[in-house]
Amino acid sequence: MYLRIAKEELKKIVSRINRERLAGLIDHTELKPHVLTKKVYSLCDEAARYEFASICVNSARVKEAAEYIKAKDYDVLICSVVGFPLGQMKTEAKAFETREAVNDGAEEIDTVINVGKLRELSSAKGEEREKIRNYLLSDIASVVKSADGKIVKVILETGYLTDAEITEGCRISIEAGAHFVKTSTGFGPMGALPAHLKIMREAVGNKRGVKASGGVSNFLDALRCIYAAANSDELLNPVYFRIGTSSGINIVNTVAWAKYSDAWFVDEIPCRYCPANFISKLPEEIKEYYIGLCRNCNILSNAELEERRKYHEL
């Protein structure tokens, strides 16, 4: 469950990137409910200045962002979230919101999967399983159709899911025609964890995109996400990998320092990026799932595992 990444591996990634290449992977994001119009304009200005892949905003902000970008003659893509942040809206509502966002100027859509339905799929059998799976396929496909050829990314909210459910969510998303799968809304119990990103990349292969989003707040976080889901020259490309973050400026400004100083690269604290760290926020059955993985971790040394068990009173 826990993906341990050596600092030497992170250094290798830095040797292959520069500030511009990293900036081109970032969806510059502002999704908080209290945001003012002037913040949306500032987001556009920053995206143009730093050459980020896109800005990502709530659908009600798309039109004003599009008008501002046009007036400023910026070369900036607009990504709109849909069904955000819960994913529990009716399919027709997600399709309507998608059409409206595209009509207002959105060129990419990040939609939230119906997480509860995806979780129910695990225990369902026979006709019931087929019914739930078809619902999920139709739900995502309706957004893809309404996006009218625009890029669609499906947010799985991986923090509520088992490894198998993450894999199945990826498969359904791609089968429904989505172009990317994405970790988190940033409002769930976990963000973009390397272990989950690795599962997602394995599930979609090298011909679909993976987006790391939620809690990617610094340069090292970004490097760990790249290691897990885009650790090749082919995948280190905005067509196949994105990072959704409101900390993009801080992240790209760190690249220059990392080129000549090893101080940035430290051995991570064991288990820091393991989902078991977030069990207090999880539904009971998912909590038990991650506790079980923690008890039987095969990555830590015996001494580290013993300390971990004491810490969590496992």
The mean per-residue pLDDT over the stretch 9-18 comes to 94
**Which residues of 177-272 form beta strands (DSSP E)?**
180-182, 209-213, 241-245
Q: Is 99 inside a domain boundary?
A: yes
pLDDT of residue 139: 98
Lookup: tokens for 209:
């995109």
Looking at the domain assignment, is residue 231 inside a domain? Answer: yes
Q: Looking at residues 174-188, what average pLDDT do you find?
A: 97
Catalytic residue among 104, 110, 139, 221: 110
Residues 138 and 286 grouped into a single domain: no
Examine the domain organization and report whether 239 and 278 are in the same domain: no
182 is catalytic: yes
- What is the Cβ-side half-sphere exposure of residue 158, based on CA atoms within 13 angstroms? 32
Radius of gyration for the chain, computed over Cα atoms and rounded to the nearest angstrom = 19
pLDDT tens profile 104-153: 999 999 999 999 999 999 999 999 999 999 999 999 999 999 999 999 99
300 pLDDT above the threshold of 80 = no
Peptide bond just before 33 cis, omega within 30 deg: no
Same domain, 290 and 203: no
Q: Please state the separation of Cα 127 from the chain's center in Å.
A: 31
174 found inside a domain = yes
Q: pLDDT tier at 264 (50, 70, 90 boundaries)?
A: confident
| pLDDT for residue 311 | 60
69 and 142 belong to one structural domain: yes
The pLDDT confidence band at residue 310, using thresholds 50, 70 and 90, is low
Instruction: Report the pLDDT averaged over residues 160-178.
Output: 98
- pLDDT higher than 80, residue 312: no
Q: Which residues pair with 57 in a beta bridge?
A: 30, 80
Is residue 70 flagged as an active site residue? Answer: no
Task: Measure the CA–CA gap between 106 and 256, rounded to whole angstroms.
Answer: 32
CB 116 within 8 A of CB 283: no
Whether 110 is a known active-site residue: answer yes
Clarify whether residues 259 and 281 are in a common domain.
no
Q: pLDDT band for position 69 (50/70/90)?
A: very high
Considering only residues 142 and 1, tell me which one the structure prediction assigns the higher pLDDT. Answer: 142
Among residues 268, 283, 304, which one ends one of the domains? 268
One domain for residues 234 and 292 = no
2: in domain: no
Whether residues 179 and 228 fall in one domain: yes
Catalytic residue among 27, 117, 211, 221: 211
Mean pLDDT across 34-39: 97
Same-domain pairing of 182 and 143:
yes
Contact 211, 27 (CB under 8 A): yes
Domain boundary among 232, 252, 268: 268
Give the pTM.
0.95
Position 304 scores a pLDDT of 73
User: pLDDT band at residue 308, thresholds of 50, 70 and 90?
Assistant: low
What does the pLDDT average to over 244-263? Answer: 93
How many domains does the structure of the chain reveal?
2
**pLDDT tens digit sequence for 84-101:** 999 999 999 999 999 999
Instruction: Please give the pLDDT value at position 71.
Output: 98
The verdict on residue 1 lying in a domain is no
- Residue appearing with tokens 């101080």: 263
Q: Are residues 96 and 241 in the same domain?
A: yes
Kindly state whether residues 139 and 229 are assigned to the same domain.
yes
Question: Does residue 98 fall inside a structural domain?
Answer: yes
Interatomic CA distance for residues 129 and 141, integer angstroms: 18
Cβ(170)–Cβ(198) below 8 Å: no
pLDDT at residue 178 in the model: 98
Q: Which of 139, 153, 182, 221 is catalytic?
A: 182
Q: Are residues 201 and 276 in the same domain?
A: no
Looking at the fold, whether 196 and 277 belong to one and the same domain comes out as: no
Would you state the torsion angle of the CA atoms of residues 193, 199, 201, 203, taken in this order, to the nearest 10 degrees?
-150
pLDDT at 282 over 90: no
Q: How far apart are CA 140 and CA 244, in angstroms?
A: 20
Confidence tier at 18 by pLDDT (50, 70, 90) = very high
What's the rounded mean pLDDT across residues 225-254?
A: 97
Residue 243 falls inside a structural domain = yes
Q: Which CATH number characterizes residue 62's domain?
A: 3.20.20.70
* Angle between helices 62-72 and 37-50 in degrees, nearest 10: 50
Share of the chain above pLDDT 70, in %: 97
Q: Do residues 95 and 139 lie in contact, with contact meaning Cβ atoms separated by under 8 Å?
A: no
Domain interval for residue 72: 7-268
Average pLDDT over residues 33-56: 98
259 within some domain: yes
